[in-house]
Chain A
Amino acid sequence: MSFRIVSYLRAIWAENVKEWKLELAYKADFIRSLIDPLVYLLPHLLYGIAIVGGRSSSHLAKLAGSSDIITFVILGYIFIGFLNMALWAMGFSLRKEQYYGTLESVFAAPVPRWVFALGMAAHSTLHQSLIVIFQLVVMYLIFTFTAKDGGILPSLGLIALMLFALYGLGMMVAALTLVFKQGWLISEALSSILMVIPRLPTH
């Protein structure tokens, strides 16, 4: 039993390493994956500043308890990053194997399919975490924002909880892309609809 678990863990790690190798083979694209989120985030921040005339909004304070539009938007965008990870990186994983011509080999390997899915999830989480750290550092250097020390650990706990749900979503999308083929449309439609929600105060 313990031997089997070790084998599964090795397979999960191998899947993660394989994805890193593939991504690092296209260095320009890898660098772009770090800069991309910043470029999509900046218009939201500059738009907010243009509307409010600064970075503090009394109306936002009433709705969300914090008046700082910059911190509010950046935090929302971090969650959107994880959402996109589930929809694009995980959701597209099986379709990509199909393009490479390796899906049959992966499915015929002597490990359950959830091991493959967990390998993809591990890689996606690590890659997305790297993107988030890079994003936070750059945004801190540009705008400067503060976080309460006591809030960091609970926030990470909440993100971890959210990730489990997102892994489920990612696997569902992955299965859908196998059925419908034009998978990008499913990911794009779902991410467009879902991204309207998390960045906003709910009142």
Chain B
Amino acid sequence: MSTSSRPIQPLSPTSAASPALRALVNLRWGLLLAVVLLALIGLATIQSATAEMATGFLARQVFWVGLGLLLLLLVMAVDYRVLMDLSVALYAIGLAGLVLVLMVGQMRGGARSWLGIGSLGGQPSELMKLAVVLALAKYLSRTDQPFLGLKEIAVGGAIVSVPMLLTAVEPDLGGAMMFLPILGGMILVAGIRAKTLLALLVIGALAGAGLYFFGLKDYQRQRVLTFLEPGADLQGSGYQVHQSKIAVGSGQLTGRGYRQGTQSQLRFLPERHTDFIFAVLAEEWGFLGVAGVLGLYLLYFINAAAIAARARDRAGILLVAGLLSLFAAHVLYNTAMVIGLVPITGIPLPFLSYGGSFALVNFLTAGIILSVDLRRHVNR
């Protein structure tokens, strides 16, 4: 029914040839450049961070990056509207995955979050985020009002809440939290009245307080407390932040040199190939390396926003906005975490952190954004 409500004209072979080529040539290649450079930097940093470890983290990540690039190109070739049409099915499959992982999933980092056979598999919650963005984009693009109504917000909230709660009970609180920026970013772009936003913020604050006192486990509460007073527990949960800040700070301007970081190489740094990989980079490449990588993320942001700005329809804009929000939330939270600006929780850094399904999600994200860009002229 959604297809019929939107003014889509069938692609005619005669008119498509030259605009499609033009679209390819004028694609926002900057986004792809950022993706490739970040992925390469990620591989190099993983190599340094896991030099002391026996198993081949680098080889596995090279595989994931290769597979990711392939998927990126594949998704680019698929019309994003096709993906959105599949969103209901994807969402259902994702939910099934989340339920399945709760029953037969493997423990990873204290949460029953990993589904697979042997070493092949991944976290359903990561892929679910993409399904949520697609579903939300599809749903929110239906309205023809300048601002979202309460009904849209409520339904949108429901679309996000179900997988979010399922992820939270794994329990992977950090992963669950990352559903929120999707909704937030897409609501802001779709339009919301100031008083509605204010009401949502109040409700959110109350829900947050309720969660802190009734929904968190002791260790999670401890992390929040540690964040508020980092020096109090240096041997326990303050240790990670402390060691991470030492790693980052000791990098100074030019860094200690590739594979020369004492914090990383001597294992003072926890989770150094996953959540704290940015601290490894900061230690070994210094502020120059940090600024360079943040610059690549900025390049990604700018290109994604530009793609949104020239997308051909409301759905495309919302889709890119949701994906950008998801991507940016990971980047901002993770980098803020390694210097102790936010509480520690297991949120990886896109393209840098080690991890299969997370890497695939990031490549798919970029692929969908580029798919939107590739079809910007269609039916304009």
Our verdict on whether A and B bind, yes or no, reads: no
Residues of chain A touching chain B, judged by Cβ–Cβ distance below 8 Å, are none
